[in-house]
Amino acid sequence: MQHLIAPSILSADFTNLEKEIKFLNQSEADWIHIDVMDGHFVPNLTFGFPIIKQLKKHAEKPFDVHLMITQPERYLKEFKNAGADILTVHYEACSHLHRVVQEIKALGMKAGVSLNPHTPVHLLENIIHDIDLVLIMSVNPGFGGQAFIENSYKKIQQTKELIQKTKSNAMIEVDGGVDASNAAKLIDSGADILVAGNFIFGSNNRDQAIMQLKQLKF
Ligand code: DX5
Ligand code: ZN
């Protein structure tokens, strides 16, 4: 399968998000990655339902919503109503992960589970069959523009092995510090989706930045 690119609007121009979404519509990007932070699970705040709902009116690509919030089970329906297509929760934020995953799917969304850099992949052993996506954090969540953590390649490989061993259909997404220097190795390690914020929105040629991540040569 050709890998997908999911630009993170965390690094977009917040004063003109309609324009940013329309840029992504006409670009080669596949999904739109939306980072929701609660100032509790992570030391930063972003945005919630009203803004996502407004953005959805202009978007022509799936909304890949990454929840960095505690007790995400409180808001699953609201995120569905706001327009989430893929909803990813953190392993570290859920006491009853199995139930949360089932609820996300029952609402008609794809269910993702994210692992912080310190969380071992084997903890997904008993949930991998139920989920559509594993999100490997390659920085500590909370901020855009941080340096990529090298151990992430190994975690992607371990996730790939777990998926193959268990014949799961889950896709592997990687998020944090992704750029043209590490993208090929990430795909080679087993990543299916590359999230990138700063590399795309910080570039003076965003279309080219997306293409650089998309058309990788090995
Ligand atoms: C970090 C977020 C990321 C962030 C990635 O907590 O989950 O999605 O936007 O940004 P870059 O690509 O700049 O590291
Ligand atoms: Zn993210």
From the list 30, 35, 38, 192, the catalytic residue is 35
Pairwise CA distance, residues 85 & 63, whole Å:
5
Q: Quickly state the pLDDT bin for 121 (edges 50, 70, 90).
A: very high
pLDDT digits (tens, 9 = 90+) for 133-163: 999 999 999 999 999 999 999 999 999 999 9
Which pLDDT does position 106 carry in this prediction? 98
Q: 35 CB under 6 A from ligand 1?
A: yes
Report the number of secondary-structure helices (H) and strands (E) in the chain.
8, 8
Q: For residue 8, report the distance from its CA to the centre of ligand 1, in Å.
A: 6
pTM over 0.85: yes
| pLDDT of 92 over the 60 cut | yes
Q: Give the strands of the sheet with 110-115, arranged side by side.
A: 4-7, 193-196, 171-175, 133-137, 110-115, 86-90, 63-68, 32-37
Average pLDDT over residues 41-50: 97
Substitution site in 64, 88, 148, 175 for ligand 1 pocket (most atoms within 8 Å of beta carbon)? 175
Q: Quickly state the pLDDT bin for 216 (edges 50, 70, 90).
A: confident
Terminal C-alpha separation, the chain? 15
| pLDDT of 75 over the 60 cut | yes
| pLDDT of 167 over the 70 cut | yes
Q: Please, what are the domains in the chain?
A: 4-215 (3.20.20.70)
Average pLDDT over residues 171-196: 98
Ligand nearest to the Cα of 142, by number: 1
Which pLDDT does position 79 carry in this prediction? 98
- Residue of minimum CA distance from atom 6 in ligand 1: 141
